[in-house]
Amino acid sequence: MRWVKAISRKSYLLPIYTIWNGLQENIDEFLAESKESFITYYPDFDCRKNTSKALTEKIVADPNFIKDYMAKSMSLSDKTRGKAKELRFIETHKLTNKELWGNIKSVLDLLFESGKTITQAREHAYSYVVEKLKEKINKEEIDNLLMTLTNPTTKSLAMVEEDSLLKKAKKILDQSSSELFQNLVNQHHDEWAWIPTDWAIGTPWTKTDIKNRLISFIKSNPQEKLMEIEREYEEKKKHRETSISKYNLSRDITDLIGMMEIEAFYRLHRRYVLSELLYYSQPLFEELSFRIGLETDFVYNLVPREIEDFLLQGKGVKKEVISNRLKYFILSGKNRKINVICGDEARKLAEKELNFQIKEDTNFLKGQIGCKGHVIGIARLVQTTKDFDKVIEGDILVTHETTPDFIPLLRKVKAIVTDEGGISCHAAVISREMNIPCVIGTFVGTKVIKDGEKIEVNALEGYVKRLE
């Protein structure tokens, strides 16, 4: 098989097109298919394998590689978050077309630069580490060790937001007043309303949402909860240090494991940072929508060249072309160029290159362990945020993938099953932060498992079993 399915997520064309232009610094050739509002990314198998191998060799050869990578990546994240905050104060209706393009271009440039930070180290690095460890550790110990050592010890922005709200709850308990309560709600809304959004998709938190969460936190002993969270992260760090000492791991092994941990953390961190940027850049695209005479959904399915041509040269955009993209398209990336293919040409290309047959009539689904645990419970299928209300305390979440808007929902469930994902996907990282048993990458979980049926999630061996 030439193409390997890597990720699938709900997204508009514009951010994906721009980020994957940057990604081509590492993976030169790929196809991506958009249907049913999901874009699925397929890198070239050999290219991805060779890139991962080359990156592994760099890490082993250069002790400073990981430190430099992290410093540059976090510097870009800080710059991106700074731009997001700057956008909050721009009066878009006063901008000339040239100024509007300048601001949109600065957003797209940051998306492009973020794409260049996407690495493909984990596949080859994982295999390299496993082969080295086999010499002195059995398979079960290796799995446990890698689960421990690749578990991020730095909080995701979702957890930072939760900490922030818990601290506000504690402050209200210490200095109770209705004025303080409202001020803190407003402050939190200004800083964190974007958290449930994901690359310009999703519904931001309202002030009412934040009020309700704040009241819930006030009732739950916020000081104790804050201390518990800190203890959990300290235990992760100590467990990591103890494990490294116990097995006397060599520098090349610790460096590669360190890179896998960083990838797990930074992949999620980058996703949150870009979601924040796109949330605060929405007024720019709403203004563009007004000037171009298209709905905002259409504007987000333009490519950068079309936006520039309209704003600087007055060149129009054909609505029927964008309508076709909304229905179905293929992105073809090769030689540092991306083409958008629609209509019959796209469908023929997909039928030829991406027509994979997956067996869906099974009661046993194999996946990958995101976070260890073993539970039996009722499955709740969540296809969109509209399904959130049917999930009750103690259900097992079955979904295509988790996104930032799932965070409050994850507090209710006792296990997670996803179609998509690898060891550093959103569901894997968040489940380990929250200590929720999780099996990822089942491919067909949402197609096979029925809503309301009893299932077993064995996140010790990496499978899901239907019991009814």
For the domain that residue 428 is a member of, what is the CATH number?
3.50.30.10
Q: Which residues contact 23 (CB under 8 A, 6 or more apart)?
A: 30, 115, 116, 118, 333
Based on the fold, state whether residues 20 and 164 are members of the same structural domain.
no
Looking at the domain assignment, is residue 253 inside a domain?
no
Looking at the domain assignment, is residue 300 inside a domain?
yes
Looking at the domain assignment, is residue 148 inside a domain?
no
Looking at the domain assignment, is residue 252 inside a domain?
no
Owning domain of residue 443? 364-466
Residue 278, pLDDT score: 97
pLDDT tens-digit map of 144-178: 888 788 778 889 999 999 999 999 999 999 888 89
Task: State the Cα–Cα distance between residues 210 and 215, nearest whole angstrom.
Answer: 9
Based on the fold, state whether residues 15 and 125 are members of the same structural domain.
yes
Name the β-bridge partners of 8.
40
Q: pTM value? A: 0.88
Give the Å distances, CA to CA, from 136 to 124, 130, 143: 20, 10, 13
Based on the fold, state whether residues 161 and 302 are members of the same structural domain.
no
Q: Within 10 Å of residue 9's Cβ, how many Cβ atoms?
A: 20
Based on the fold, state whether residues 12 and 105 are members of the same structural domain.
yes
Looking at the domain assignment, is residue 34 inside a domain?
yes
With a cut of 50, list the residues of the chain below it in pLDDT.
none
Based on the fold, state whether residues 349 and 382 are members of the same structural domain.
no
Q: Number of structural domains, the chain?
A: 3
Residue 360, pLDDT score: 55
Q: Which of 191, 207, 239 is the last residue of a domain?
A: 239
Residue 24, pLDDT score: 84
Based on the fold, state whether residues 371 and 286 are members of the same structural domain.
no
Residue 3, pLDDT score: 81
Residue 257, pLDDT score: 84
Based on the fold, state whether residues 369 and 289 are members of the same structural domain.
no
In what order do the strands lie in the sheet containing 454-458? 364-366, 463-466, 454-458, 374-382, 396-399, 415-418, 438-440, 368-371
Based on the fold, state whether residues 306 and 409 are members of the same structural domain.
no
Residue 1, pLDDT score: 52
pLDDT tens-digit map of 266-317: 888 999 999 999 999 999 999 999 999 999 999 999 999 999 999 999 999 8
Looking at the domain assignment, is residue 17 inside a domain?
yes
Q: Which of 319, 353, 387 is the last residue of a domain?
A: 353
Q: Which residues contact 144 (CB under 8 A, 6 or more apart)?
A: 372
Looking at the domain assignment, is residue 198 inside a domain?
yes
Which of 212, 255, 218 lies closest to 60, judged by CA? Answer: 255
Based on the fold, state whether residues 132 and 270 are members of the same structural domain.
yes
Q: Which of 178, 204, 239 is the last residue of a domain?
A: 239
Based on the fold, state whether residues 214 and 175 are members of the same structural domain.
yes
Looking at the domain assignment, is residue 70 inside a domain?
yes
Alpha helix stretches (DSSP H) within 248-313: 251-280, 282-292, 296-299, 304-313
Based on the fold, state whether residues 332 and 279 are members of the same structural domain.
yes
Based on the fold, state whether residues 460 and 425 are members of the same structural domain.
yes
